[in-house]
Amino acid sequence: MKKVTFEKYHCMGNDYLVYDPNKNEMELNEENIRLICDRNFGVGSDGILAGPYLDQEKMYVKILNPDGSEVPKSGNGMGIFAKYLKDAGYVQKTSVSWMTISGEENVFYLNEEGTRVKISMGRPSFWSDEIPVTGERREMVNQTMMFGKIPYVTTCLSLGNPHCVIWMSEISKDQVCRIGEHSENADYFPEKVNTQLLNVLDRTNIQIEIYERGAGYTLASGSCACAAACAALRLGLADNNMYVHMPGGILEVEIKEDGTVYMVGEVGHVGTITLGNEMTEKLRAMQVKK
């Protein structure tokens, strides 16, 4: 039986498993992804980065949530995968690009080891039909929404994935979990939503708590940090360059005059994980029969 291996990385405590299909034979599906990501019965992670798939002109990467769903964007995931490509010898240049379901992604290495990366996150859209949010087309800035029968003033946007930002003077894990349990699957959001509670410390420092769709409470998220920064700038609460403080660490976000968002983060390699025979057999039994 061929061993199944993962490389584990983290970016500010936001941890991912990299599953390289060129080195493994097992197929990933919703059922076995749930078990792999389970922190008690599996390996444990905030998601899986599957790739690189090399049968196209450009590399393709699947960003998989712990519930098995594929998502279009993960800032921290992009930084982690870029580090893996350098570690595994796929890349020797100072930048790398690949495709996801949201299109082309670009990452720039800021040091030779690939532990510090700059990631292009695209431009935000606050338009309801592009996020998406139900109802007539409108900009989702300072819009009141009901979550768990409680009204909140929200600013919603897309950075390739949907975000709902709620500005508060005090934020906590308990608050974001309480709100996120309702907002993630609220009827407003046909594709679900990432929820961030935003506290503005000053014009160059903001603080957030995060509840990610398909993952729940998260110590850090690159796309959520960038979304919160875009919301803070749009609301006139912060400048173009800011530090986003999260329980897992601090992320630098830069928003250019044309609206393009860049984030800078630190990536760490935890180690190589080789599954035992019992776990491997259990996962293989979960594969879709063809």
Has 277 been labeled as part of a binding site?
no
Has 222 been labeled as part of a binding site?
yes
Has 213 been labeled as part of a binding site?
yes
For residues 277 and 237, give the distance between their C-alpha atoms in angstroms, rounded to a whole number.
54
145 Rama class: left (phi>0) / alpha (psi -120 to 50) / beta = beta
For residues 206 and 248, give the distance between their C-alpha atoms in angstroms, rounded to a whole number.
14
Has 75 been labeled as part of a binding site?
yes
Largest CA distance in the chain: 58
Q: Which helix (H) or strand (E) holds 8?
A: strand 5-11
Has 70 been labeled as part of a binding site?
no
Is the CB of residue 50 less than 8 Å from the CB of residue 28?
yes
Q: How many CB atoms lie within 10 A of CB 2?
A: 9
Is the CB of residue 208 less than 8 Å from the CB of residue 224?
yes
Q: Which helix (H) or strand (E) holds 254?
A: strand 249-255
Q: Which two tokens stand for residue 288?
A: 């879709």
The three-state secondary structure class of 89 is coil
Has 241 been labeled as part of a binding site?
no
Amino acid residing at 238: A
Q: Which two tokens stand for residue 138?
A: 């409108």
Has 194 been labeled as part of a binding site?
yes
ω into residue 52 within 30 of 0, thus cis?
yes
Q: How many CB atoms lie within 10 A of CB 106?
A: 16
Has 14 been labeled as part of a binding site?
yes
How far is CA 79 from each of CA 48, 85, 114, rounded to the nearest angstrom?
A: 13, 10, 9
Q: Per the annotation, where are the binding residues? A: 14, 65, 75-76, 161, 194, 212-213, 222-223
Binding residue positions for substrate: 14, 65, 75-76, 161, 194, 212-213, 222-223
